[in-house]
Structure formats: structure tokens, C-alpha cells
Amino acid sequence: MSTTSPFPVPQYLAKLSFDGLREWFSSQPTSVLLSLAQTVCANTYGNKVYLRGLIEFSNHCFCDCLYCGIRHSNHKVERYTLSEEEIIAIVQRGIARGLKTFVLQSGENRQDLPETMSRLLRRLRRFANEDIAFTLSCGVYPREVYREWKKAGANRYLLRFETSDEDLFSHLCPGKSLSRRLQAIEDLKIEGYAVGSGFMVGLPGETLDTRIQNVFLCRELQLEMVGIGPFLPHPDTPLASHHSLPIEETVRMTALLRLLLPWANIPATTAAGSLHPRGREMMLEAGANVLMPNLTPTEKKRHYLLYANKICLDEDGWECLSCLSLRVASIGKSLSFAKGESLLREEKR
């Protein structure tokens, strides 16, 4: 372990080239990866697991990504958008329960969003002081739009790059390009957001090399948050007949992320919990330190199915909070209601 770095990254790993890292990673049993990642995570975040309340406020989407259940061409989806009043009520209830971060997520490319989101954020900021963080996850928009949203009260932004393989990206997301997405990530950083990105594990057409490149890209982008999860086929998409990789692959990638980005906030994702009953716990044991209870009203949740077999559809977010607290206790961790900035941001202060 380094004594000079503010983060205890095993230095030999931080310096490895792509080939060196691939060789090292491939030769490590999962148990070794887990114990290294656990140590790094415990050194940076203790046994705390931060909470983010997720609100899937609209499933309208004008993109047609091959993997995604709410893609524009899926006419079976019943489309909805929560009203401002509904969103405000959820946030108020969340604040009363002690939550300090809310993630507002929707489909992509909505023409009306620049204005409606600014108005919503202003209304939220009337009662939510700076102890409360708003994270947006609404896709690619022009930099000026990100600037307006930031002025209106947003703090953080999640925009996964999905895969670092440009050709695979263009194939999976028709009409879009990886370079435009990376530009948006840069724009968000310039506008002062805490930026999160990430990728799916096991997309049809990717290889282990792609996955390691994905982790390298996360580090190159100096992400404050990294969300990853297994690809899960949705029956009403062109990728319906493909399969997920075993959960172990997501767990191994989580550990590698924690080792190379010790400062990052890494959620144990719902997708992992949907692939395996202990998927989220397994990610937490591999270095993840965030959970995102889904606060979307239960009658709307089942219309926001990015993939099949999504968990927690019948439970409301408040039930999930109690469930999560038992789940983290089962692995010797505890939920934290703190705002939970990434350590990179804390360091910059």
C-alpha cells in the first residue's frame, strides 16, 4: 500500500499498463480481488453505505438503444411522467425520513425537459437547503442546458458511457456516438457537477478487454461516481435472446473499480439484485458503498423496466429502506444518511 497517496491504492496496480492489468486481473481468484477491494473500501468509507433516493420521473424516451426496455420503439410500454407535485411530495417525504440525496432519472432526449426540469429544481430548492443534493440522470443535452439546471439547483449528474468500445456503442445505440457522450461528460464537469458514469457488464459483443478498458476509461475520466451492473435482456428488445454473464463478472469488475478508483462512490445496483438474490450484497462486499432505494410510486415502477425481472416492483421505497438496512447489517455494514460526497471532491476542498 502507498504511504504517499491520500488513498490507499495498491501502487503496483495503479501503475500497471492495460496488458499488465489484464494479466494480473485474470490470474486473481475472486476471493483475492474481494479482500483487496474490501480493504481499500474500508479505508476510505469504513463500513458505511450511503443512500440515494431514486425517482424515475418519466419513461418517455426518444432513443432506441437495443438493450433498453423503455426504448422508443417498444410500443408495449405505458408511458408516464410524474407531475411536479408528485415529485415534490416524494422528495419531501424522503427528507422527512432523513434522505439527503435524490436522483431524478428519466428517458433521454425529451424536447420539453430543459424548461420543465429547471422549473422543478427551482421549486425543490425552495424547501431543500444545501444539505440536500439533487442528482440528475436524464441523458445528453447541450452544455447550456446543463448550466441552466445547475443554476436552478442540480449538483450531480449521472450519464453512463455504457461501453468504451466505440463501434459497439454505435451499434447498440443507433444514431448516437460514444464521443458525443464523452463530450457531455466533459461539459458536465466544466459546469461544476459531480459527475458519475459507468457501464453495463456483459453486453452482447463485449469481451474481457472491453470491460478492462471500461474501468480504465472510468479512471481517465476521474469519475466521482461509477455505476455498473449486469446487462439483463428485456423480452421486448432486439437483444431478447441474449444472456447475462454470471453475477461473479459484475462482482469482479466492482472490485477492480474500487481498486483503481478508491475515491469513487460506487452503487450496488438494482440490476445486480435482479440477476442474483444477493447481487447487491455481493457488490457491497466487493467495494461498492452506495444503495439507491427506488422511491418511484409502485403503480409507475412497473412501467420503468429497463430489463426483465427487476426487483422491488411491489415494495414502495420506504419498505425497501427497512429491507436494505437488514441486508447491509447481514454483511456487517450499516446505512448512512449522510450526504456522501465522493472523496475526490472532499480532497479538492
The site map against ligand 5AD for 152-171 (x = CB under 6 A) is --------x-x---------
Sole binder of ligand FES in the list 190, 208, 240, 323 (CB under 6 A) = 323
Answer with the entry of ligand 5AD, ligand FES, none that 153 interacts with (C-beta below 5 to 8 A by kind).
Answer: none
Q: Which is nearer to ligand FES, 9 or 305 (CB)?
A: 305
Give the whole-angstrom CA distance, residue 178 versus residue 200: 14
Nearest-5° Cα angle at 13, 12 to 15: 70
Distance, CA of 154 to CA of 141 (rounded, Å): 14
Residue type, 69: G
320 near ligand FES (CB under 6 A): yes
Shortest Å distance, C-beta 283 to ligand 5AD: 14
Task: Using DSSP bridges, classify how beta strands 53-58 and 101-106 pair: parallel, antiparallel or unpaired.
Answer: parallel
Residue 231 in contact with ligand 5AD, rule: CB under 6 A: yes
The C-alpha cell that represents 236 in the structure block: 421486448
Which of 168, 232, 264, 312 is close enough to bind ligand 5AD by CB under 6 A?
232
Q: Is 212 in the site for ligand 5AD (CB under 6 A)?
A: no
- C-beta separation of 225 from 196 below 8 A: yes
DSSP lists the bridge partners of residue 53 as 102
282 sits near ligand FES (criterion: CB under 6 A): no
CB 182 within 8 A of CB 161: yes
Stretch that binds ligand 5AD, among 36-44, 181-189, 229-237, 252-260 (CB under 6 A): 229-237
Per-residue interface string for the shown chain with ligand FES, residues 284-313, x marking contact by CB under 6 A:
----------------------------x-
Look at residues 132, 134, 139 and name the one whose alpha carbon lies nearest to residue 152. Answer: 134
Q: How far is CA 9 from CA 15, 234, 331, in A?
A: 10, 37, 23
51/271 with CB nearer ligand 5AD: 271
Q: Is residue 331 within 8 Å of 47, Cβ to Cβ? A: no
- Interface with ligand 5AD, residue 57, by CB under 6 A: no
- Cβ-contact 71, 21 below 8 angstroms: no
- Residue 288's identity, in one-letter code, is A
Shortest CB 162 distance to ligand 5AD, Å:
5
Q: Which stretch binds ligand FES (CB under 6 A): 63-71, 141-149, 320-328, 338-346?
A: 320-328
The least CB distance from residue 185 to ligand FES, in Å, is: 29
Contact 136, 157 (CB under 8 A): yes
Output DSSP code: residue 221: T
- Counting every residue, how long is the chain? 349
Query: Where does this chain touch ligand FES (CB under 6 A) — which range of 65-73, 145-153, 166-174, 315-323?
Result: 315-323
Instruction: Tell me if 106 sits within 8 A of 138, measured CB to CB.
Output: yes
What's CA 230's distance to the chain center, in Å?
12
Q: Which is nearer to ligand FES, 227 or 262 (CB)?
A: 227
If binding is defined by CB under 6 A, does position 68 make contact with ligand 5AD? yes
Q: Are 276 and 245 in contact (CB under 8 A)?
A: no
Told to check if 315 binds ligand FES by CB under 6 A, we report yes
Residue (15 or 180) nearer to ligand 5AD, CB? 180
316: which 3 cell numbers? 414502495
203 touches ligand 5AD (CB under 6 A): no
Nearer to ligand FES, 89 or 323 (CB): 323
Q: Does 307 bind ligand 5AD (CB under 6 A)?
A: yes
Binding site for ligand 5AD (CB under 6 A): 67-68, 160, 162, 200, 229, 231-232, 234, 271, 306-307
Binding site for ligand FES (CB under 6 A): 312, 315, 320, 323-324
